[in-house]
Structure formats: structure tokens, C-alpha cells
Structure 1
Amino acid sequence: MTEEIIIAGFGGQGVLSMGKILAYSGIMQDQEVSWMPSYGPEMRGGTANVTVILSDDRISSPYLKVFDTAIILNQQSMDKFEESVKPGGILLYEPNGISHHPKRTDINIYQIEANKLSTEMGNKKIFNMVVMGAFLKIKPIVELENVIEGLKKSLPERYHDLIPLNKEAITKGMESVTPYMAEQVAN
């Protein structure tokens, strides 16, 4: 099993953290892991993305042009990465702020309203864990207990009291992800 993932959005949405938690989870499952972040100098508000590869075999290169899964959190990332999903792959996106929804019909597309759900749960900082839950529902490539351990490793200890809320956010994402059908455009 090899899973090649791109997670992309604005800085401050937890893009890099989500990738790091997936990477930690893979390590705890004795997988080969690659975590390659990319972000602009502006950090919060600028674009950020991370490539994560989880594999049972050695990873030859962390640099990818096509992905099994794209997790898209803003329009700029949709414009840049929608076409980079392999046919038959998965595109998971947060529709808030997306003006041009995905159009491809050769991939599996899902939506998660993480912005709305994290607001309803009373803490916008759990946005990325709602998205993580949606992804794990679609593709359970890492075990939930390893994700929680990954959270403990990536969160500073002063925030460990938020781990139960993050776990609840993951569960909410798992329950709330929905398939999206790209409209077929008549030629």
C-alpha cells in the first residue's frame, strides 16, 4: 500500500499540522513516511501545502506531480491541484470560499463543511481535525489511536487538554463527509 497525498490551503488552517499528524500516524504503524511542506513567507493567510506519502515499501522520492488524494481547503489550491489527482483518486474539499467547484468526473469527490462544524463546536482551531476525520472516513489508512498519538506529538503539552475536543472533531468529520457529484457539462 502506498498513499500519496497533497493537503493544500491557507496558512493558519492547520494544513502542515494535518500532514505532520498523518506522518506520525504512519510511523507508528511501521510505514515508510515522507512529509514535505511548502509555504510562502507570509505564513498565516498565505498559501501552504504539504505532501505526505505513506507506504509499506521504501519511498523513492518525496517529490510528486500527481496524487492519490488531494485535500483542498481554498480556491487557489483547487485551481492548482484539482488536475493533479490521479484518475480514480480522491478529492476532498471544504466548500467555504470555493467559487469554482471541482468539475472532474473521473475522480471521487467529497465535501466536508469543516468551517461550519468547527464553529458549531465552539473552536475554529479544530477545523483541520474535522477535515482529518472526513479523510479517515473515506480512506482509513491510519488507525484513529495513532492519529491521537500523532496529535500528542505535534501539539505542545500546554494544549494537550484540547485532545478530547480534537478527537470529537475527528468523529464529527467522519459523520459529516458527503459525496459530491461534479455536474456533467454537455458538449
Structure 2
Amino acid sequence: MTEEIIIAGFGGQGVLSMGKILAYSGIMQDQEVAWMPSYGPEMRGGTANVTVILSDERISSPILTKYDTAIVLNQQSMDKFESMVKPGGTLIYDPNGITHEPTRKDINIYKIEGTAIAAEQGNPKVFNMIVLGGFLKVKPIVKLDNVEKGLQKSLPPRHHKMIPMNIEAIQTGMKSVEVVNQL
């Protein structure tokens, strides 16, 4: 099993954190992992993306031009990465700020209202974990207990008290993901 993922959005949305947590979760599951962030010099408010590869085999290169899954959190990322999802692959997006919905018919498309759910819960900081939960429902490539271990590894100890809240947000996301197009 190899899963090649791009997570893309604005800086400040937790894109890189989501990728890091996913990568650590794969490590906790004894998988081979590649994590390669990319962001503009402006960071918060600028575009950011991270490539994560999880595999049972050695990863030859972290440089990809096509992805099994794209997790898209803004229109610029939709414009750039929708076409880079492999046929039969998966695109997951938060519709907040998306003006042109995905149009491909040869991929699985899922929507998760992460921004709206986080706002309803009064905690916008868990937005990325809600989206991660939606992804893990669609593609259960790491177990939830390994995600918790990944959170412990990726978060500084002073933030470990927030791990239960993050796990709850992931579980909320798992319940909230909607099918838009399924092959």
C-alpha cells in the first residue's frame, strides 16, 4: 500500500500541521513516510501545501506530479491540484471560499464543511483536524490510536492537554464528510 497525498490551502489553516500529524501517524504504524512542506515567504495568508507519502515499501522520491489524494482548502489550491489527482483518485475539499466546485468525473470527490463545523463548535483551531477526520473516514490508512500517538509526537508537550479535543474533532470530521462523486 502506498498513498501519495497533497494537502493544500492558505498558511494559517493548519495545512502543514495536518501533514505532519499524518506523517507521524504513519511512523507510529511502522510505515515508510515522506513529508515535504512547501509555502510562500508570507506564510500566514499565503499559499501552503505539503506532500505526504505513506507506504509499506521504501519511498524512492518525495517529488510527485500526480497524487492519489488531494485535500484542498482554498480556490487557488483547487485550481492547481484538481487536475493532479490520478484517475480513480480522491479529492476532498472544504467548500468555504471555493467559488468553482470540482468538475472531474473520473475521481472520487468528497466535501467536508470543516470551517462551518469548527465555527459552530466555537473553536476554529480544530478546523484542520475535522478535515483530517473526513480524510481518514474516506481513506482509513492510519488507525485512530496511531493518530493520537502522532499528535503526541508532533505537538509540543505544553499542548498535549489539547489532544482529546483534537481526537474529538477528528471523530466529528469522520461523521461529517459528504460524497459528491463516487466511482
- Fold-level match, TM-score > 0.5? yes
Cα distance in 2 between the residues matched to 1:133 and 1:68: 17
1:185 alignment partner in structure 2? none
- Aligned-pair CA distance for 1:152: 1.3
Cα distance in 2 between the residues matched to 1:61 and 1:76: 25
RMSD: 1.0
Cα distance in 2 between the residues matched to 1:143 and 1:128: 17
- Aligned-pair CA distance for 1:181: 3.5
- Kept in 1, the 8 Å contact 2:107–2:181? The answer is no
SS at match of 1:35: strand
Residue identity matched to 1:155: L
Residue 119 (structure 1) aligned with residue 98 (structure 2): no
SS at match of 2:122: coil
- Of residues 83-92 and 158-167 in structure 1, the stretch that sits farther from structure 2 once superposed is 158-167
Cα distance in 2 between the residues matched to 1:161 and 1:117: 21
2:27 alignment partner in structure 1? 27
Tell me the alpha carbon deviations over residues 13-67 of structure 1, each in whole angstroms, 9 at most, x when there is no partner: 0000110111101111111100000000001000000000000111010000000
Q: TM-score, normalised by structure 2?
A: 0.97
2:153 alignment partner in structure 1? 153
Cα distance in 2 between the residues matched to 1:181 and 1:67: 18
Q: TM-score, normalised by structure 1?
A: 0.95
1:49 alignment partner in structure 2? 49
Residue identity matched to 2:151: L
1:130 alignment partner in structure 2? 130
* Gaps in structure 2 of 5+ consecutive residues: none
Cα distance in 2 between the residues matched to 1:100 and 1:67: 20
SS at match of 2:106: coil
- Of residues 155-164 and 92-101 in structure 1, the stretch that sits farther from structure 2 once superposed is 155-164
Cα distance in 1 between the residues matched to 2:141 and 2:172: 18
Cα distance in 1 between the residues matched to 2:157 and 2:32: 26
Cα distance in 1 between the residues matched to 2:30 and 2:128: 24
2:90 alignment partner in structure 1? 90
1:64 alignment partner in structure 2? 64
Residue identity matched to 1:119: A
1:164 alignment partner in structure 2? 164
- Of residues 85-94 and 156-165 in structure 1, the stretch that sits farther from structure 2 once superposed is 156-165
User: Runs of 4+ in structure 1 displaced over 2 angstroms?
Assistant: none
- Kept in 1, the 8 Å contact 2:69–2:90? The answer is yes
Residue 16 (structure 1) aligned with residue 16 (structure 2): yes
Tell me the alpha carbon deviations over residues 81-133 of structure 1, each in whole angstroms, 9 at most, x when there is no partner: 00000000000000000000000000000000000111112210000000010
Aligned length: 182
- Kept in 1, the 8 Å contact 2:32–2:57? The answer is yes
